[in-house]
Structure 1
Amino acid sequence: MSRALLSGRATIPRRILQQGWPVLVGQWASMAFGVLDTAMTGHASPVALAAMALSVSIYITVFIGLTGVLHALIPIAAQHFGARRLPAIGHAWGQAVWLSLGLSMLGALAMMFPDAWLAMSGNVDPAVRAQVAGYLSMLALALPAALLFRTVYALNTAISRPKMIMAINIAGIGFKAFFNWLFIYGKLGLPALGAVGAGLSTALVFWLSIAVSALILCRDPFYRQFLLRIGRPHWKTLGELLRLGVPMGASYLIEVTSFTFMALLVAREGIYATGGHQIMANVVALCFMMPLALGVSTGAQVAQAIGAGYPMRARRIGTAGLALAVTGALLTIAVIMLARHPIVRAYTADPGVGAVASGLLGLLALFHLSDAMQCMTSYLLRAYKVAVGPMLIQAGALWGIGLLGGWWLAFGPAAGALSGLIGTLLPGAPVGAGTMWLMAALSMAVSALLLQCVYWRVAGRATPAQPSASA
């Protein structure tokens, strides 16, 4: 990284946004897959929508956890990039490819036994259960390509070149919509597969995406400087990826299971509650894309500054990223709250599902602001290669307060204890689903606060008391 890139306080937010907006657009494009699946199956039938909700909960649990392990490549490669150790980036990427292939086998195996996951959902309708099994079998085929694509994503994020991923994801939306139309509804003489068709279309698009990205890496002269190569497995480098990646993946897994297990528990309240929860979860995920993009951009630039030996610069970038995350969260909350009812109608025409979703969206403000802060802070800590402490904080807050506390008050020994509060705050929401989401929002706020305490301590220790003029 050049000194010019590392200079100028006034340009820090602009540089975060310059790298962040392609990440945001790319993430939104990727999330459009889930939006298309939810909306198109929602208009197919309540059974298909319920199957989608349960299937996605299982798949996302597996995929996000494994993705977190691979994202260890981002701070590792970014610090190499800041220090101008360019061939080391190519070596690290090649080892991440090996790691992605091994993880894909573990993930596919976990998805081949849906009944083990559905055991906590009570008596799931047999029609729903059948579509869940079919959908997951399709996504097991998609997983190797999806994880390989994440190594390309991590590489481009680390070197501040996110537009390639954005372009591929945008192109994938068109293919995804067309394949969904074919397979969900059974067009052009094909059978109507419902949720299973959505899974098949996802698999096809992921394999197309990795094929295109591999072609770009081979043909674009820019990537030659990194000497990208797969080579043989190098245990030392794989060990470095795993030492950082396992706690990162665990943090990702803790966060996602807090909500995917929630979907499996909410399924006890029936198809309408499941569908409404799925819409709420999808809106929350879409909102999350902005702090995620800012976190990815900020974290990469902080790691580059650390690798280049500019700790004060790293701290200033982190402060700017936090300010941008809060501002973006407040704007997002305002837009969603004003357009809440049209958004719900875009997802479903079923009045029962819509009433549940509208009620749950009342918690968006508290949830999203806390989520944005904990997301940005997590990425800043990863830039410093700090992952174990955040993992423990998230486990205690999200699993202890959110998931366990939510279950206790929603479906466990204290079931119904918050029914009066839920009826007042979230009219239209089932007591169980409303309680789970309320406890999830509280747990996210606790996690964000504790992660902030850790971050400022880490950043303070890494920053010299009297910074040099070049910092």
Structure 2
Amino acid sequence: MEPAQAQAASQGEARPHPVRDELPQLLKLSGPVVLSRLGIMAMGLTDAVVVGRYSATELGYHALGWAPTSVVLTALVGLLVGVQVMTARAIGEGRREGTGAVLRRGVVYAFWLGVISTGALAVAGPPFLHAIGLERDLADGASRALLVFSLSLTGYSVSVACSFWLEGLSRPGPAAIAMWAANVVNLLLVLLFVPGTMGLPAGGAVGAAWATFGARTFLALAMLGFIATMPEARALGVFRKPEIDRPGAAEQMRIGFGAGISNFLEVASFASMNVIAGWLGGLAVAAWAIVLNVAAIVFMVPLGLATGAAVLVGKAYGARDNAGVNRAGAVSFGVTAVFGVLVTLIVWPAAELITRGYTTDTATIAIAAPALALAVLMFLPDCLQVVAAQALRARGDVWLPTGAHLTSYILIMMPLAYVLAIPMKMHLMGIVWAVVIASVVSAVLLLARFWLLSRRAL
């Protein structure tokens, strides 16, 4: 072999391979994150089951008290995404010692976000519940639960900041373990608090809210304790007061603002689907709840893939490696597309069987089963849009994802769902079609944006 050919062959062997190099990292990062996100759902499901078996009335208080806090909580998670992205960028830049500053800023930011959110919900939450037309007893019971739920936002915010930091370091496993340990704590507390046994106060929905407070406080302390005892914590700058870095702090907050607004827009738009379903009647609400719950479970996997994509893209972006950014994006989108197609092919023929697992009411099944069969059309685009949005934020494009979500879910989905469901009399199928169309629009906008940026040098 000629020397030039040998050199080319050697360079070819050293050239990064997207499947060989990026795919294992993506799966290693995403798996624990998926488990962690499923742990969040499991905690809410545990509370609902225990409270529901205790009292249907208390379950109503629990659901209504939880709803406003869940909107705020989702926005808080988005506001803290900057911790994950900036940590990954620092690693890509070769500044591991600088990641401690990102964590310290993130924990302080999370603490004050939690405190402010608690205060805002305590002041505005009960009047809001009493102003939306609920029966007084229902609004009173929900308000009591809401006040306790709001107390847990600070602990949860701090735990999210710690979790995002570890994910940015490519160490998502401890956060997943801590989340499931918190689930055990929550189960023990909810079994004690909901019945009000052993002379404990409260009970019912308020008892479950106190259990959530205890579990989230445990989660925050567990995450902080793990980080403090990491052998490399000092080398990462965890205990060192960081130098003032206004550009870095501003970028961290900018990324969080974009993600937080996006999360709020999505949550608010899907909450409006519940309202439209309510205008169609009780059966439509129950059927839509089944469709939405299945979609939420499916959504946990792309959420994990989105974290993996953000870390890989963020590292490559920090290293100013344009080819690496594009490889990480391409592999993430490819894996996400494969998952979206597979889950579609699984759920579509099993739609009625899945629906029967939620309810035995034949009237509800008759509405929910065909709606779920249609809803599988949103799985692929919905999976792709969340991964693409995180990949874009990781490469510094913060506001386009927010604009895409505003366009897709607020400007298109909300009015389209109303028109299709009520004036055009498509009922629940109209709501589902609106979600499918909005998901496609969002995915196309975000993927097109990533493709356009991939053609530019960093």
Q: What's the TM-score bracket when you normalise by the shorter of the two chains?
A: 0.7 to 0.9
By how many angstroms is 1:222 displaced? 2.8
Partner of 2:68: 58
Partner of 1:400: 411
Partner of 2:454: 459
- Contact kept, 8 Å, 1:131 with 1:194, in 2: the verdict is no
By how many angstroms is 1:125 displaced? 3.7
What is the 5 A alignment of 1:97-246?
97-112=107-122, 113-114=124-125, 117-118=128-129, 123-187=133-197, 193-229=203-239, 231=241, 234=244, 236=246, 237-246=248-257
What is the 5 A alignment of 1:395-434?
395-410=406-421, 416-419=422-425, 422=426, 431=427, 434=429
Letter in 2 for 1:315: N
Structure 1 residue ranges without an equivalent (≥5)? 411-415, 423-430, 464-471
3-state SS of 2:397 partner: coil
Q: Percent identity?
A: 23
Letter in 2 for 1:326: A
- Contact kept, 8 Å, 1:69 with 1:244, in 2: the verdict is yes
Partner of 1:468: none
By how many angstroms is 1:354 displaced? 6.0
Normalised TM-score (structure 2):
0.87
1:10 to 19, 25, 36: 19
Residue 296 in 1 paired to residue 307 in 2?
yes
Partner of 1:426: none
By how many angstroms is 1:197 displaced? 3.0
Structure 2 residue ranges without an equivalent (≥5)? 1-12
Q: 1: CA distance between counterparts of 2:95 and 2:191?
A: 47
1:331 to 342, 364, 385: 342
Q: Kindly tell me: are residues 356 and 47 of structure 1, through their superposed partners in 2, closer, same or farther at Cα, counting changes over 3 Å?
A: farther
By how many angstroms is 1:134 displaced? 2.3
Q: 2: CA distance between counterparts of 1:325 and 1:72?
A: 22
3-state SS of 1:440 partner: helix
Q: 1: CA distance between counterparts of 2:457 and 2:138?
A: 52
Residue 450 in 1 paired to residue 445 in 2?
yes
What is the 5 A alignment of 1:65-80?
65-80=75-90
For residues 195-235 of structure 1, the C-alpha deviation after alignment (integer angstroms, 9 at most, x for no partner) is 33332221111000111111111112032221114858957
Q: Kindly tell me: are residues 56 and 6 of structure 1, through their superposed partners in 2, closer, same or farther at Cα, counting changes over 3 Å?
A: farther
For residues 232-287 of structure 1, the C-alpha deviation after alignment (integer angstroms, 9 at most, x for no partner) is 89571432222222122111111121112333554455665545444433322211
Residue 368 in 1 paired to residue 379 in 2?
yes
Q: 1: CA distance between counterparts of 2:437 and 2:49?
A: 29
Partner of 2:10: none
Letter in 2 for 1:367: M
Q: 2: CA distance between counterparts of 1:56 and 1:97?
A: 24
Q: Kindly tell me: are residues 170 and 54 of structure 1, through their superposed partners in 2, closer, same or farther at Cα, counting changes over 3 Å?
A: same
Q: 2: CA distance between counterparts of 1:126 and 1:353?
A: 29
Letter in 2 for 1:159: L
The worse-fitting range, judged by mean Cα deviation, of 441-450 and 277-286 is 277-286
For residues 83-103 of structure 1, the C-alpha deviation after alignment (integer angstroms, 9 at most, x for no partner) is 121222111211111211221
- Contact kept, 8 Å, 1:62 with 1:110, in 2: the verdict is no
Letter in 2 for 1:401: I
- Contact kept, 8 Å, 2:347 with 2:373, in 1: the verdict is no
Q: 2: CA distance between counterparts of 1:218 and 1:202?
A: 24
- Contact kept, 8 Å, 1:97 with 1:230, in 2: the verdict is no
The worse-fitting range, judged by mean Cα deviation, of 324-333 and 192-201 is 192-201
By how many angstroms is 1:168 displaced? 0.6
Q: Kindly tell me: are residues 258 and 174 of structure 1, through their superposed partners in 2, closer, same or farther at Cα, counting changes over 3 Å?
A: same
Letter in 2 for 1:417: P
Taking only aligned residues, the RMSD between alpha carbons, in angstroms, comes to 3.0
3-state SS of 2:396 partner: coil
2:45 to 14, 18, 35: 35
Q: 2: CA distance between counterparts of 1:125 and 1:5?
A: 68
3-state SS of 1:202 partner: helix
Q: Kindly tell me: are residues 352 and 98 of structure 1, through their superposed partners in 2, closer, same or farther at Cα, counting changes over 3 Å?
A: farther
Partner of 1:253: 264
Normalised TM-score (structure 1):
0.84
Letter in 1 for 2:423: A
- Contact kept, 8 Å, 1:91 with 1:229, in 2: the verdict is no
Partner of 1:262: 273
Q: 2: CA distance between counterparts of 1:201 and 1:176?
A: 6
Q: Kindly tell me: are residues 400 and 357 of structure 1, through their superposed partners in 2, closer, same or farther at Cα, counting changes over 3 Å?
A: same
The worse-fitting range, judged by mean Cα deviation, of 437-446 and 107-116 is 107-116
